[in-house]
Amino acid sequence: MSKTDFDAIVIGSGPNGLAAAINLQQKGLSVLILEAKSTIGGGLRTAELTLPGFKHDICSAIHPLAAASPFFNTLPLQEHGLTFIQPRITAAHPLDDGTSVILTNSILETAVYLGIDRKSYLKLIEPITKNWESLLDELLAPLHFPKNLINFTQFGLKAFLPATLLAKKFESLEAKALWAGMAAHSIQPLNNLATSAIGLVLMASAHAKGWPIPKGGSQSLANALASYFVSIGGKIETNFHVKSLDQLPSSKAVLFDITPRQLLQIAGHRFSTIYKWQLEKYRYGMGVFKVDWALDGAVPFTSDKAKEAGTVHLGNTFAEIASSELATSKGKHPEKPFVLLAQQGVFDDTRSPAGKHAVWGYCHVPNGSSKDMTESIEKQVERFAPGFRERILAKHTFNTAQLEEYNPNYIGGDINGGIIDIRQLFTRPALRYSPYRTSEKGLYICSSSTPPGGGVHGMCGFHASERAWKDVFAK
């Protein structure tokens, strides 16, 4: 076999690209990461988008799956500058009456706040949290026969349900509202099959590991992963935009932390007809419209509990959120969209000048939407935090096209690398024995367009690199 420049090359430095590169470098290979932008990180980037001294997370901000990741937890990231901050109140869901229902690290505390639904909540979540670590290993993996079939089946029977159906387990407006906000992270209509899965995972993760915030911004997590990778001999080159395989140094394997659309542009001519056809049929989901604010003080929520939460879900009732998400999936722009708001500065004073706050919020929009949703988003915040607009010093917005320009993986503003509905839950990006293999020997896809999908956990990259290791190197 001829000498190569590197054993493996990874295209893209998002959490999955970094995980793939680290795993292969740990196995004694020589690995190069190529990143098109001037900074590494993909969705893990932080920048001064509004005013000097205000650090805004450009995409991912709160990291429940990073804290729970079976692979990231094996890495000495604290030694490379990463500090996680845990809000005491993981998430708050304000209601129009001025109160909030909350999710905390304590399953019992959360259940108490649900009143008449206390027992129903415990019955739903306790079995999942009890077996959380072993269950998460199964969930953050490609389709396979589970090691503990009973535990996995118990979870699967609940997770497979549409969120609208599982909501019927609760009686109170408060419990239903909390559930709606969690399930809406699936970025699809709540009456879709398996929309309960993401809500259950997020709730269980809060009780097991919390929803931590990286001190200094999400870039801190990317920097820690990159620092560790370089410390074990890995190499990173930025400002290297790969448009063709001919640009690459020689290697035995190439792993792409990109989605099917870009993969077809780079390597489509090398793929079999059927694999190329499958990638062309890959579906992208709803996009997001995002606003970052520099504020002269914290968000003045009516609810004190909302003031103390790392994440705030704005949408009032289950019915309102379900209606909003369904309308968006049909190409409409609801007047009262479901808004996810992150207020990292409440817990991290490195994010803004003293007394000020850098706050982030987004709503779902139809894929490729060009509509400015700033007014609708700010009305939703003002609805639960009167006086919010008076505290705005500056703002920055991203529509779907601007998000895709910032990160080409966000096709039409889809931050999940493709819709994660029942049709693409396990067969992303194509129906194959291994979803990470392409039809061309030595080429692999390791992005969130592969199982287990979106989220900052690195497991798409880990499993893709394991596949590449077995196919190419462990012989």
Rg from Cα positions in the chain: 21
Per the listing, tokens 């009890």 go with 130
pLDDT for residue 1: 31
pLDDT digits (tens, 9 = 90+) for 212-257: 999 999 999 999 999 999 999 999 999 999 999 999 999 999 999 9
pLDDT for residue 133: 87
The torsion angles phi and psi of 92, rounded to 5 degrees, stand at -125, 150
**Strands (E) located in 286-399:** 287-295, 309-314, 339-342, 357-365, 392-398
pLDDT for residue 3: 57
d(Cα 317, Cα 306) in Å, to the nearest integer?
16
* DSSP string covering 275-300: HHHHHHT-----EEEEEEEEESSS--
- For CATH 3.50.50.60, the residue range(s) in the chain are 6-36+240-283+418-473
d(Cα 179, Cα 338) in Å, to the nearest integer?
13
Nearest Cα to Cα of residue 198 among 146, 162, 173, 174:
162
d(Cα 68, Cα 139) in Å, to the nearest integer?
12
- Averages of pLDDT over runs of 10 residues in the chain (475 residues) are 78 98 98 97 96 96 94 97 96 97 97 96 95 90 85 91 98 98 98 96 95 97 98 98 96 98 97 97 98 98 98 98 98 98 96 97 98 98 98 98 96 97 92 96 98 96 98 90
Helix/strand/coil percentages in the chain, nearest 5: 40, 15, 45
Per the listing, tokens 């969209």 go with 337
Residue 128 and residue 204 in contact, taking contact as beta carbons nearer than 8 Å: yes
Per the listing, tokens 């703002």 go with 395
Q: What is the helix (H) or strand (E) element at residue 235, kind and residue range? A: strand 235-237
d(Cα 324, Cα 311) in Å, to the nearest integer?
19
pLDDT digits (tens, 9 = 90+) for 114-124: 999 999 999 99
Peptide bond just before 452 cis, omega within 30 deg: yes
Per the listing, tokens 């609810």 go with 303
Considering the entire predicted model, what is its pTM?
Answer: 0.96
Q: How many CB atoms lie within 10 A of CB 430?
A: 23
pLDDT for residue 215: 97
d(Cα 437, Cα 430) in Å, to the nearest integer?
10
Strands 46-47 and 89-94 turn out to be unpaired
pLDDT for residue 150: 83
* DSSP string covering 80-130: GT--EE--SEEEEEE-TTS-EEEEES-HHHHHHHTGGGHHHHHHHHHHHHH
Domain covering 6-36+240-283+418-473 in this structure, CATH number: 3.50.50.60
DSSP, collapsed to helix, strand or coil, labels residue 142 as coil
pLDDT digits (tens, 9 = 90+) for 376-393: 999 999 999 999 999 999
Dihedral sign for Cα atoms in the order 27, 463, 449, 471 = positive
Nearest Cα to Cα of residue 432 among 276, 320, 307:
276
d(Cα 188, Cα 369) in Å, to the nearest integer?
16
d(Cα 122, Cα 207) in Å, to the nearest integer?
12
**Strands (E) located in 315-398:** 339-342, 357-365, 392-398
| Contact residues for 338 (Cβ-Cβ < 8 A; gap 6+) | 180, 181, 184, 313, 314, 315, 321, 324, 325, 363, 364
d(Cα 107, Cα 125) in Å, to the nearest integer?
8
Would you state the CATH architecture of domain 84-213+286-406?
Alpha-Beta Complex (3.90)
Nearest Cα to Cα of residue 188 among 448, 419, 436, 427:
419
- For CATH 3.90.660, the residue range(s) in the chain are 84-213+286-406
